[in-house]
Structure 1
Amino acid sequence: MLLLGENSVTFDGDSLSDIFYDDVNSKICTVRGNGTMGITLKGHLAETISFRTRETAQIKTIKFSPNGRIASIQRDDSTVRDDSTVDFVFLSSANGGGVNSTDLQPDVKQRCKLKNAIIIGLEWVSASQILYILNTGLELYQVNSEKKTIKLVKSFHIALLWFVYYPKSQLLIVSSGINGALLNPFLIQNGSIHKLCRFEVDFGCSNAKSKLLERDITVGSIYGILYVLVLRSSIRDSTTSDIALYELSADPAVSSKFAYSLTLGLAGMFGVHVIDNLVIVHHQTSCKSLVFDIALDLQTHFHRAVVEDSISIDPAADSFVSEGMELYTPAWVIFAPNFIIDSRAGIFTTLRVVAEQAVSHIKDNCTLLRFLMNRRNAKKTFLNTFTKMLAEKRLSLVNASTVFEWIVKSFVASEAASQMVSEQQRTRIVTEPYHEMRIEQSDLLSGVFLPLRDIASMDKKFLVNVMLECLLALNAKSIDVEPYFHEVLVNTMVEAQEYNKLQQLLQYRVIADAKPLAFNLLSLEVQHAPLIQLAVDMLARLGVNEQIVEVLLSKGKVVEAVRFIDTVGLDRFNCLKAFEAAAKTDRVTQYAIFNHFHDKKRTNVGRESDHYDVFKQKFDEMYGEKELHIANEESIFGDV
């Protein structure tokens, strides 16, 4: 279920190279000879950037601007002991920003403005703005690549211990307080530093663990909400009891709050990924990964792993991954959202979740279906799994009803999301977009109901009840049911010989009246003759009287058709159609029909009508005086 190596690149992982990870660009940077022998930046998609610098002091931090045109380097020069200066290398634009040069590059130095401050980190917030994170505050600089100048634009004073950065939101979280548990969120947006409400987290402070460390914190987007994930130690033993999720608030006046707890109860080293809205906790000691899905039950605050699995090498991975990587090795370094760096093997790769394989890991049927519904690009797997469960009757009608409620709820949510106009805010927390799985009625028909109908051994009565549960779920949310859904439902009910139930559904309008449906009922008359009356009743409710007459005549019910004409007062009906239908009956009925129209003197079939004259002549030729007298006496109409 967890596959490693879909996208991979190699890098120099020997002892002569220093390795850095650029979180803004999601790339790996290798430095050889402190930069004099070369600096190489490479990722899974963009081209490689390579250059050299002339400084010889060891590089402490290196970060690149989002467009790859500027490198910011902090060096650790023991001879000068300067922790407050950053070197800026403006890479040649002649190569379109994708530098691949071994030429020595000039640099510009920029010292922080706060006195006696130490730079503990750098983060590019845009292509032209960089943030200095100092032990005593924050400084935001504007960088002009053309003039090669750096200018301070904003600063903020705060004593901090360490920080984590979430590039997508330009969100910085800095740690303060005696034990580091006081977290201060900042949004670095629109050229300003916006402070959000600080909050304190519980990390299980004890004698064994007295301080919260940077490695214990992960920021992740889960179902459209940004959370801070905190590894929390047990105060009773040396285990890590759980992961606490704190929901971040973008309102400066509202503090972030505890939302969920993910139970671990394990000792050892952990790594955390947030992939496809799943929290995946890697445990090095057991070589296992625990998968959590908080959306399986949003009402509870405490969750256990829904899947426990070990990472496998992706069959599509390059050979250097399958041959060179050792799983769950101490050489692994994990980065958001799905990156793993093996510093020993020199491989920078990705981890992915294969939702289809959850079928073999999750035994509870409803849990499995809910899990698949929550996954991205898993609609086909969900429909296939749902169909198989129904075919094997592994789901009760109650469970099927619950699943249809999920489907309808997600459909309504996706409709609302598509019509929602996003408000333009000056500052906001940006998360990974999450879209509810949208399953249309056509998807249910083509992916579930029709395949089930085609199964020879399928219990059609059970299928009818399943489809009715779907119909009820749609009606409960006032969603218009597509005509083809009703058509398939009616056909299935006829196959299941659920005639009484069908009649009740039609009479109580659970199945809405529609002309195509009425004609479909007529086509099923061969299997159940009373369906013709249900069809006629439906057409009558729809007010399509002429079509009712057409139906009765096509079925050879000429007398009933004429009676219906009289009942509804269909004065403009062309008697030619009735005459043509009567011609297929016995001579007595033919005479009765003619005599009826003759006596009623319809507006458009009076004696001046060409139709009337033609058929009067034919009837005069057909009957003699004696026959006319007998037919008149035996007329089934009498006085209609």
Structure 2
Amino acid sequence: MAASNKICCKHFLKLSDKPLRFEPVNEVNQVFFDDTLGQVFAVRSGGTLGVVADSLDKKLYRSFRMQDKGNIIAMKFNPSLTVLAIQRSPKSVEFINFNEKNEPVEFSNYSQTCKNKSFMIRGFNWITTTDIAFVTDSGLELYQVVAEKQTVRSLKTHSAQVNWFCYERKHSILILSTGILGNVLYPFVFQGTQGIKLPRIEVEVAAVKPPSLVLFDRHVSLLELYGQLYLAVLNQKMQKSESSPITIVLYLINKDGPAKKLYILETKLPGNFALSSADNLIVLHHPATETCLLFDIALPGDSDGFGVTHLLPIIEPLPIQPYDIQLPSKDFKYDMCWEVISPESPYPIGLIARVFDALNRNYVAHRKSIETGNSSNDPFLPFSLILDQRDLYSGVFYKVFEARKDISHKYAIAVLSEFVRSLNQYNIYIGDFILEELITRLVDGNRCNEMSQLIERSVLGESKRLACLQLSLQNIYPRALHLAINMFSKENTGGPELIEIMLEKRQIISALRYVRKNGLADTISARKFLDAAVETNDPAVFHATFLFFEQRNLRLRGDPSQHHSLLSDRFAPGEQCDSYVSHFEKLFGCSSALHQTSIANN
């Protein structure tokens, strides 16, 4: 199910045009659903007449036969579709290997029981291609399946009295429900072969007497919104009767700390809801009225002053767009018995490039019309739309990139690169804020060499701001210092900043060359350079630096040896360089590099 691109007055959601069809449950056929991979299994006669595993992603389609070994509770492929796990009893899970032809390997049946004979398996999930998690009534058990040897090895266990569980594959988060009321939730994050227990979440629920389970798995959902994972809980605490309006509480799951209660969705409707998400929007399905409510956590709401924001639906409740499903027995009705698979729908880069060209072309035409006094509209657009790059950055790029953490660096870089290309095509100066966003994305995406090529080819232009940005990256990308030096030299700006950076990096000779090339020798501090030269512990560097400033002072003030007996007077008292003269004497046996040079020449 996906959010429709065009919201009309009657519907804002529609069902997929390509539904997944499978044989219904009957005396011969059993149906199972794996919500992790999105596969539907249709099993005929226990597998002897065939098993069909189908999905909206046709790469996951499999068809095979297997022996009928009795009742099936659940079945799930591992992510690589090379091992099928089947649970037939509350005590164990069996495994079947598959070959390169996607067929079961003969005599490859092996199994694993839970740790204790008294434990009951509530369910299982593949964590990786080889690792699987059993959730029992007494805790969590992690195993490694070694398909080649047809063995299963225990990795780790966590003890807890478990009521139910839910799992989200992309973020590798599993949540266990514990406690008499079922409201004490323990998230686990899986990293490699480790299941790391996160701080518990205690959900507020209505008190009941005697105490019994009130929070069930049907009351919670794990939703990815703007690249982050949220736990959505149907809040029963404030529901005084069946006619009381329902609220949905959203907790942000933090892998580095406790979950945070951030949002409350005000439905204004009583009864049951089913939750899903599409395009980072929360969709609440209300079977009683056969309508849907739409929420967006990126929009402003009312804060309670304690970090929780109350949100209202962004549009009035509306039904799903009618869809004619041809069934032999009955017509389609809105029902709670369905699952949701949310699509990803990034806009094609080619389309975005055409939009950028149209906007920039219209912007140039608008600027020319102001200069000439003649109005001009771009025929590409049905109306005159004038946006400059600052409008796009503040109103589009910044908001989208900050809000949608799920956008990959690759996609963001492609969008920004197309925008820079379009600006260059229409001879529009590229703003520093655009350059900073693009370069930051390139660095974060480990594409520094691409950044270097763009700078060297002058695609990004040359400015003091860009050079300073390169200086800030030198610890991450050493070549950035060279790029910055070249830009500062061409622009003849940023001297003090660049000199400070080069001295800090102990590139004394490069700094002296820069000073000489840009005519800064008469004004710079000798003491700062000499101090940096001493820190290098390189006598040759110190000698060259000492000689540079002796020659500078000789040119500015004449030869002091003609008037004074102290060679240290080659440096004025205000320069505070006596200690460096002493250091020179200690290293080279005299107090003047010029004196050494004249002796060598003689």
Instruction: Please give the range of the TM-score, normalised by the shorter of the 2 chains.
Output: 0.5 to 0.7
The answer to whether the aligner puts 1:68 opposite 2:81 as a matched pair is: yes
The answer to whether the aligner puts 1:50 opposite 2:55 as a matched pair is: no
SS of aligned partner of 2:16? strand
Aligned equivalent of 2:241, options 237, 245, 258: 237
Partner of 1:4: 15
Partner of 2:290: 287
Q: How far is 1:408 from its partner? A: 5.5
Q: Are 1:185 and 1:195, in contact at CA under 8 Å, matched by a contact in 2?
A: yes
Q: What's the C-alpha RMSD, in Å, of the aligned pairs?
A: 4.9
Q: Are 2:234 and 2:247, in contact at CA under 8 Å, matched by a contact in 1?
A: yes
Change (3 A) 1:303 1:377: farther
Give aligned pairs, total. 401
* 1:337-352 alignment runs, 5 A limit: 337-338=341-342
* 1:97-496 alignment runs, 5 A limit: 98-99=102-103, 107-204=109-206, 211-233=214-236, 234-238=238-242, 239-251=244-256, 254-297=257-300, 300=303, 301-307=309-315, 308-312=317-321, 326-330=332-336, 332-335=337-340, 337-338=341-342, 405-407=394-396, 409-410=398-399
Deviations 1:447-499 (A, max 9, x none): 9xx9xxxxxxxxxxxxxxxxxxx99x968x58799xxxxxxxxxxxxxxxxxx
* 1:467-616 alignment runs, 5 A limit: none
* Relative contact order higher in (CA < 8 Å, ≥ 6 apart): 1
Q: Are 1:53 and 1:105, in contact at CA under 8 Å, matched by a contact in 2?
A: no
CA distance in 2, matches of 1:299, 1:97: 57
Q: Are 1:86 and 1:109, in contact at CA under 8 Å, matched by a contact in 2?
A: yes
Deviations 1:102-147 (A, max 9, x none): x986522321123411111011111111111111111111112122
Q: How far is 1:284 from its partner? A: 1.2
Q: How far is 1:161 from its partner? A: 0.7
The answer to whether the aligner puts 1:25 opposite 2:37 as a matched pair is: yes
Partner of 1:88: 95
Change (3 A) 1:193 1:51: same
CA distance in 1, matches of 2:267, 2:45: 42
Q: How far is 1:70 from its partner? A: 1.6
Q: Are 2:186 and 2:200, in contact at CA under 8 Å, matched by a contact in 1?
A: yes
Task: Give the TM-score normalised by the residue count of structure 1.
Answer: 0.53
The answer to whether the aligner puts 1:39 opposite 2:44 as a matched pair is: no
Q: Are 1:169 and 1:431, in contact at CA under 8 Å, matched by a contact in 2?
A: no
User: For structure 2, which runs of at least 5 residues remain unmatched after alignment?
Assistant: 5-12, 304-308, 363-376, 438-462, 464-490, 492-602
Deviations 1:23-53 (A, max 9, x none): 3322111223333443321112125323344
Q: How far is 1:273 from its partner? A: 1.1
Moved more, 4-13 or 152-161: 4-13
Partner of 2:477: none
Q: How far is 1:178 from its partner? A: 1.6
CA distance in 2, matches of 1:322, 1:5: 20
Aligned equivalent of 2:25, options 3, 11, 14: 14
User: For structure 1, which runs of at least 5 residues remain unmatched after alignment?
Assistant: 77-82, 339-350, 356-374, 418-429, 451-469, 482-513, 515-541, 543-640
Q: How far is 1:444 from its partner? A: 11
CA distance in 2, matches of 1:187, 1:411: 27
Partner of 1:457: none
Change (3 A) 1:442 1:158: closer
SS of aligned partner of 2:218? helix
Q: How far is 1:278 from its partner? A: 1.0
SS of aligned partner of 1:295? coil
Over alpha carbons, which structure has the higher Rg?
1
Q: Are 2:393 and 2:434, in contact at CA under 8 Å, matched by a contact in 1?
A: no
Q: What is the identity percentage for the equivalent residue pairs of Structure 1 and Structure 2? A: 24
